[in-house]
Amino acid sequence: MSERLIAYTGVSALLAMVGSCEAGSHKDRLSDSPSSNAETGGADTGHDSAGDSAHDTGPPVTPGPWIALSCGDADCCAVADDNRLACWGQDTHGELDSLPDTTVAQVSVGAFGVCVLDESGAIACFPGDPDWPAPAGSFTAVVANGWDGCALDDLGALLCWGGNFSAPPPDGEVFPPNGQTFSTLAGGETVQGALDDAGTPTCWGSDDSYFTNASGYKSLTPTDSGFTSMVCGIDHCCVLDADGYPTCWGGDYTLTVEPAAGQFSSLSAGDNATCGVVLDGSEADCWGYGAFEVIPAPSGDHWAEYQRGGHGGIGCGLTVSGNIVCDGTDVPPSAP
């Protein structure tokens, strides 16, 4: 899964699970200045900041203006300023075969599918599962997870659907909470989460071997409030506080969750990696299993957000000028 990101019709900051590993704030031990070095508790990351800074952010550039971007393992979708949708990638599960030729307000690319909100707030997911159709009604946020999805309605109530949510959860899993309202939604393949109005995170999903293996990691959702955005990968989540400092938890590998030092304006989560745009937008720092790198913004521009797919997969960024820059070659030729 690569993100599990919500992409909105404005360039905004992108938005925890159960266990035993402390997940306190990193603010006290991170520097005030953005850094390209990811501290990993003494672990050898193989991170070469000089080499990473030379990361190629050249062509292809997809002219916009684009206003939203969401990437999965090997697919991305973007929303143009006229709310038209364009998607590209490997289309492994046929998720790009039947996308709507209509205007959309929001798009989320998951591990196996794509969900959109149209301008009335209605949900459509591709490919759709006839056994677990997306709910009817008006919604303000949607995330595509694995084969499932979750959404927030106009009052902030959470609604999830799909086979994983259709029966009592097996041991070690947590179902979505009932009776709570939220302001922000984050989705991952096996872990999902949300922030309430106070900025306190809640998570649900699978507590499987990713959380209980010999690495010793088992997630613990922070109990602090005041977080402003949240993202989740396949088995980890991260939040930003009001000052832009990240806190991450969960993860199959210690390198999945230890954030790069500094302050960030936005985050995105892939399967086992997270990327953050530094406050001035000059670079994106990525950390996690298989992804320690620094991606400079294109010359004369700045990043609004940057997303890295699963296991070091597809990487694309949206610039403040509304262009999309990817490190691959399979991108749409221009805004629709």
Averages of pLDDT over each 10 residues, the chain, 336 residues:
34 31 37 32 33 43 85 86 87 76 88 89 86 90 86 93 68 74 89 93 69 46 90 88 92 72 93 92 88 89 88 81 81 66
pLDDT of residue 263: 97
* Biggest CA-to-CA distance, the chain: 53
Nearest to 113 by CA among 133, 95, 92: 95
User: What predicted TM-score, i.e. pTM, was given to this entire model?
Assistant: 0.78
pLDDT of residue 321: 93
Q: What is the CA radius of gyration of the chain?
A: 18
* Residue 124 to residue 313: CA distance in whole angstroms: 26
8 A C-beta contact, residue 104 and residue 79:
yes
pLDDT of residue 313: 67
Tokens of 158: 């959470």
Name, in order, each residue with C-beta under 8 angstroms of 229's C-beta and a sequence gap of 6 or more: 13, 14, 15, 184, 195, 239, 240, 266, 267
pLDDT of residue 168: 62
Tokens of 236: 């980890």
Beta pairing class for 315-319 and 324-326: antiparallel
Nearest to 241 by CA among 254, 224, 258: 224
pLDDT of residue 180: 85
Instruction: Specify the CATH number for 27-326; select among 2.130.10.30, 2.30.30.60, 3.40.50.10320, 3.30.300.90.
Output: 2.130.10.30
